[in-house]
Amino acid sequence: MKGRLILSLVILALWGGGIVYRLAQLQITDHEHYSLRAQGQHHRKVELQAPRGTIFDARGRELAVSVEVDSVWVDPSRVEDTAAMAGQLAEVLKIDRKALTRSMEEAREFAWVARLLDPPQAAAVRELRLPGVGYLKESKRYYPMRQVASQVVGFAGVDDRGLEGIEGAYNDLVAGKAARRGVLRDARRGTVLLPSLSFRDPEPGSDLYLTIDIWIQYLLEKELAAAVERTEAKSGTALILDPNSGAILAMATVPTFDPNRFGDYGRDEWRNRAVTDAVEPGSTFKMVTAAAALEANLVDPTDIFDCENGSVVVKGKRIHDHHPFDELTLREVIAKSSNVGAIKVGLLAGESALNEQIRKFGFGRLTGVDLPGESAGILEPVDRWHKRAVAYISFGQGISVTAVQLASAFAAVANGGHLYRPYVLEAVGRDGVRQPVEGKPEVVGRAISGSTARTLERLLEAVVEEGTGKKAAIDGYRVAGKTGTAQKAAATGGYAQGRYVASFVGFSPARQPRLVGYVALDEPNPRLGYHGGDVAAPVFSAVVGPALLYLGVPPEREPMEVWPGQKDPPEPTVLTASNSTPEMSSEIEPVREPVASEVDGEGSLPDFTGLTARQAVVQTATLGLRVNLHGRGLVSRQMPSPGSPVETADGSVELWLAGSSGR
């Protein structure tokens, strides 16, 4: 008995010692470790999304907004029959029952049922009154214009992060900063909020103001979609931009998609083809070839080229024209779009000059447009050009360009030779206060001289007046542009029969351009028409004509000399918030509206100073006078002076704009 007692005491002592040791370990040695674990079990940080900023068009119309909606979750530990509940929820929400059952069975305390529900869906779930189901308010992106401008605006995913378009490109600006809230969880897994716990308010994202004008955008998409349907084309791409700033007023791709239901569409519909897709430009590139020869002072519009009745042999290879021509002037080569004539112009310019001119127009590199996924196109280094490269590139083969590159190049012709960086974001705002984006507009180089620009303007005008682009004509406005019908490359090499990209790119009014437009149809049905002048040019006319009227551009009465007596136009003014004018930005509200009281007397000339060129043209037109504009900006001086009898104007008024000099 004594031995048993001693053994029991020893065991009891060891057991007690073990308890004391364990208590000491928990309370002293491992105290910090277990304290942190306990805190982690009771203290949680909940992250609450900040509302994304609103995206507006150029006139303040909403393109993307954030609304507060319900997301549904479930605590599986409080559910007796997960399969049955999953079936009820799946039926109401039209989701996968098996996937939801699996998610609920694998989770211990929390499983998402569905996020960002529309109000009717959330109400239907509430009516079920299911145990363990909870609701969390989250911010959902909503696109009130639906398909309109969808590839430009893009969309945000279920985590409220921008994935495409402007939403993706400027996500850091528009997303804001999420709120964080410290909470306590009680023994029943309930949530307790205490004022003493950490809290950070959400910081809403910035509002974005785009150069896109939704009215022009809608018209462009409507006409492009109609052309795609009419010609049975695979797709269509088009854009409209301001040549005096690079601001993109509209950019469309067909087929399009609804960003409110982006998951119902494929990546092909999400893609902004005007930025991402590089194609051979075809005959639209003959403008660049002519520019190279004109810049080198090697040709004149009246110079005659022997087009050899429809074909020419270059380095042992016979290249055919689309039509047999005999002798054509340079003007006729461009107007009639002769391949042989363009080849001879390109060979005259030479490899070095042609390559230099191509790169001055910005081809072969990114334009820097503020949209994701931009392609630089394909332009081989000149030392890798094959022996017939000059001939093929001269009429738009063997080089690939994007729509935004080609439109920017034609914009350089339209504005007198300056290459602008195209852009979509005009200003950033908070609480209704707009701050223009610094550095926009931005001139990235001079593509051609002013004299070359004016010559090209006349050559391109002839394309519409008497050449292949007649269907681009607009009543009341002069149009300059170029058609293109590029045969598509075959996967096995060479070119595919019956597969074309039909395009037109141009600007109007030709002598004082306000809009540049690009239209392309990919693989129109040859039976229904596939030439750029037949299927793409009419879209340009149908969009640019109404857009000019919408912007308040008066129809032209007589040709106006923009830079008389000057070799080059004056350097453009880089806009700031203080000197922005409608001529050089997407803003179209008047700087100073003319009023009747500014006319000093009956039959007297009004005071034009302080007006924009557009406003001055409107006023002089009402008086039956021509106007000769010198420079760019706001009117700073006029001749005859204000108050002079209209008769002293002798049919015309001279106006000098800010930054120009008098004669």
Catalytic residues: 283
Helices (H), 395-468: 403-414, 450-466
> Which tokens is 139 given?
């911010």
Distance of CA 330 to the CA centre of its chain: 35
Contact 348, 298 (CB under 8 A): yes
> Which tokens is 517 given?
């437009």
Instruction: Give the count of beta carbons closer than 10 Å to the beta carbon of residue 513.
Output: 25
Cα dihedral across residues 286, 470, 407, 277: positive or negative? negative
Instruction: Give the count of beta carbons closer than 10 Å to the beta carbon of residue 564.
Output: 11
Instruction: Give the count of beta carbons closer than 10 Å to the beta carbon of residue 8.
Output: 10
Contact 511, 559 (CB under 8 A): yes
Instruction: Give the count of beta carbons closer than 10 Å to the beta carbon of residue 647.
Output: 9
Q: Kind of pairing, strands 480-489 and 652-657?
A: unpaired
Sorted by sequence, the CB contacts under 8 Å of residue 246 that are 6+ apart come out as 408, 411, 420, 421, 422, 423, 440, 441, 442
Q: What's the one-letter identity of residue 400? A: S
Tell me the C-alpha distance between 414 and 632, whole Å.
Answer: 13
Tell me the C-alpha distance between 381 and 274, whole Å.
Answer: 24
Contact 419, 446 (CB under 8 A): yes
Instruction: Give the count of beta carbons closer than 10 Å to the beta carbon of residue 10.
Output: 10
Report which of 618, 663, 659, 656 is spatially closest to residue 635, judged by C-alpha positions.
Answer: 656
> Which tokens is 223 given?
């006409």
End-to-end CA distance of the chain: 131
Tell me the C-alpha distance between 596 and 44, whole Å.
Answer: 69
Sorted by sequence, the CB contacts under 8 Å of residue 453 that are 6+ apart come out as 412, 413, 414, 415, 416, 417, 569
Instruction: Give the count of beta carbons closer than 10 Å to the beta carbon of residue 229.
Output: 11
CA distances from 468 to 464, 598, 650 (A): 7, 46, 38
DSSP state of 572: P
> Which tokens is 19 given?
């308890």
